[in-house]
Chain A
Amino acid sequence: MPEPLLSVQNLSFQYPSYPNLPSEPLFEELNLDIRHRERCLILGRPESGKTTLARLLTGLVPRYSGGACSGKILLDGRAAAERQPCERIEEIGLAFQNPEEQLVRSRCDSEVAFGLEALNLPRSSMLERVGKSLSQAGLSAYSRRSPGTLSGGEKKKLLLACLMALKPAVWVMDETLEELDIGTKKEVLELLRAQEQTCLVFSSKWHRLFADAFTSCCLLTGGRMLCYQGRTGGPAFRSWLRKHEFLTPRRRTSAPQGKRSRPDGDPLLRVRGLIFHYPGADGFYLNVDELCFSAGETIALIGANGSGKSTLAKLLCGLLTAGSGEISIRRNGGWKAANPELLNRFCGYMFQNPDYQIFLPEVREELAYGLKQTMERGGDIEGRVEEAIRLFRLPGPQAPPSLMSYGARKRLQAAVYYLLERPFLILDEGDSGISAADFADIVEKLSAPRRTLLIITHDLELAALLADRIYTLRDGGIVPVESAAGAARLEALVEGAD
């Protein structure tokens, strides 16, 4: 039995604890062996520790995060801890989950060359490797462009081009295949297969294309690595995933309490003839003829990246002003045209990134902020804050928000808006980065008989599960998704994004 190329032995890791935010062990006695030319798929739910493990393998953690670590990571027989990560870039390479964090140069070609400069390669061989990698990744046309101008999927491909140029022995790809359209996924998987590249690909979703693309498949769950023996993709595999709670049965998380199956019916917000021109974008514009929201209902908005979902959301909450048309709010039995200030007060917009509004050092301060002014005299702020902490399972009243996990920060964001009691709430890509069950839980807690929720998402299944109505944006106009055929076309549309 040949020695494994990468060997993880009894790895345990825990992030540092902070006052009021004790940390839990993330991995306990984790073991993993990767042999030469092995292509391993590692599945894991959001927040199971995939990124941390990827960083541990490359030595970036605990170097830059602090924390308690024990166990061994051996690369080609040598302990990883012996040398610094920068000295090992030819042995193991990492593509970050968020490409923006890893793209640092002002041009794509210099980005790919950046690692090569560290190897002190002569310029001619750098030029050759850069050219070859960019063309393999399909990005030759962008070689002099700034990485910032690339789309999400293209940025991920650029990170792959960097790996192709550096040629490390082991590739670690942190959720790289997510957000790539089917054609690109196939290309990447084919490239890995053809080169017999030793790699670990982390993913939080199973895709049917993975079935025969990898030599092994593991599941990261409960701080341990479980390896699947046998062929992936079949029903036995799926039930194995279900058994370990990776694939959750897509059912409503609770019985409809009347409020979802039968919304209040009272109209709440109406859009008419809304036209918004994007500044300088080749004449593309948003044109919504007629749209009406009722109190108590949950509406989903699906669409490819760039179709205008966030723009519509920002128009609805008054962050943007339309060229023409009107948005009206139901008041005293009649419709009142709403200016942006009124919309600001009426609507809440939960940004995809929950960190935009976090600035206070304790959870209870964040929750109470703004309540002091909006609550009536003698209102029980403390009580409401405690109720919100309990309801959204937040770590504690004095926990520091910036240090909480991503999922906890998202719940904090939801709790803030829960307390603000705005009648119309927009959740923009709220399901990204957390599990579907967690998101469904948040949506359920935010639903109320007199509150309308607008959910913007890529996940069609989730939308069908949670929403009373589904819409999509096509060519700037809003279109309801009624039939199964419509849904199937939509799936193709969303999958084809990027």
Chain B
Amino acid sequence: MDNNEKRIQFSPALRIATLSVLTAATAFFTFAVRIPIAPTRGYLNLGDVIIYFAAFTFGPFTALFAGGLGTALADIISGYSQWAPISLVVHGLQGLAAGFVAGSAASTAVSRLRLRWLGAACAGTLVMCAGYLGGGALMVGFGAALVELPGNILQNLAGVLGAIPLTLAIRRAYPPALEMHW
């Protein structure tokens, strides 16, 4: 045991732990924390904040699983389990896309990071909206699915608006998080 500064080992246990916690966080913020956006329109949920946060901090694969599994769990818990398979695929791909575009956050200047993150958010929004449009059309027809589109776009906007300050805050407040990038 003669070594100096060691980094955290990315063992199977750590991988599982990372995915579990972020999946739980995604699920929780999706079904439990809602923001009313207008008296008639309904609610936004904050799950996308966590998906983008996971993509920016922990990388594409974590965001893939956390996003997909987390939103699917949220759907099941709140009684909409019929949407779970679609959420699984759509939000999983959203996380994956955002994570790939965002790249590694470890040693880059914050200004360049912000740009990359906005790009990642665009990619994620595209995937998510297209996914729900397609999947929604299958389930409830094109008309009803189209109506959800503006809401989905707003949701992604809220997601990235929340994820950027959250990611920056955790970068500074808890640097070890950056070592768990996958």
Contacts and interface: CB of A to CB of B under 8 A. Distances in A.
Contacts of A99: none
A67 interface: yes
B172 A65 contact: no
Contact of A400 (B1, B4, B172): B172
Contact of A66 (B1, B8, B172): B8
Which bracket fits the contact residues of B? 10 to 19
A487 B78 CA distance: 50
B138 interface: no
Interface string B4-38: 11111101011000000000000000000000000
B46 to A, nearest CB: 15
Contacts of A359: 169, 173
Contacts, number: 57
Contact of B8 (A63, A80, A86): A63
A412 to B, nearest CB: 13
Contacts of A65: 8
Nearest to B14: A64
B4 A361 contact: no
Chain B facing A: main interface SS: mixed
A304 interface: no
B176 interface: yes
B108 interface: no
A65 B5 CA distance: 10
B1 A64 contact: no
A27 to B, nearest CB: 12
Nearest to B4: A68
Given A18-B175, A84-B11, A403-B174, A67 B5 contact: yes
Contact of A402 (B3, B5, B173, B179): B173
Contacts of A318: none
Contacts of B9: 63-64
A67 B169 contact: no
A18 to B, nearest CB: 6
A360 B3 CA distance: 33
Contacts of A84: 11
Nearest to A400: B173
A381 interface: no
A361 B1 contact: no
B72 to A, nearest CB: 18
A359 B1 CA distance: 35
B119 to A, nearest CB: 25
Interface in A12-70: 16, 18, 62-70
B175 A63 contact: no
A63 B11 contact: yes
Contact of A69 (B3, B11, B13, B174): B3
A66 B169 contact: no
A16 B11 contact: no
Nearest to B5: A68
A121 interface: no
Contacts of A403: 173-175
Nearest to B13: A86
B173 A361 contact: yes
Contacts of A86: 13
Interface string A154-190: 0000000000000000000000000000000000000
Nearest to B168: A361
A146 to B, nearest CB: 16
Contacts of A18: 175
Given A359-B173, A401-B173, A66 B5 contact: yes
A68 B11 CA distance: 19
A119 interface: no
A144 to B, nearest CB: 22
Interface in A60-108: 62-73, 79-81, 84, 86
B174 A400 contact: yes
Contacts of A81: 1
A360 B169 contact: yes
Nearest to B179: A66
B24 to A, nearest CB: 12
B173 to A, nearest CB: 4
Contacts of A71: 1-2
Given A64-B14, A359-B173, A401-B173, A16 B5 contact: yes
Contacts of A72: 1
A86 B176 CA distance: 22
Contacts of A68: 3-6
A67 B6 contact: yes
Contacts of B5: 16, 66-68
Given A360-B169, A360-B173, A401-B173, A62 B2 contact: no
Contacts of B4: 68
Contacts of A73: 1
Contacts of A360: 169, 173
Contacts of A69: 1, 3, 6
A81 B174 CA distance: 27
Given A70-B2, A72-B1, A81-B1, A361 B172 contact: yes
Interface in A327-382: 358-362
15 contacts: A64-B8, A66-B5, A66-B6, A66-B176, A69-B1, A70-B1, A81-B1, A86-B13, A360-B173, A361-B169, A361-B172, A361-B173, A400-B174, A402-B174, A403-B174
Sorted from nearest, which 6 A-B pairs have the closest CB atoms?
A361-B172, A81-B1, A361-B173, A402-B173, A402-B174, A62-B6
Interface of B: 1-9, 11, 13-14, 169, 172-176, 179
Given A70-B3, A71-B1, A400-B173, 6 more contacts: A66-B176, A68-B6, A69-B1, A79-B1, A84-B11, A361-B173
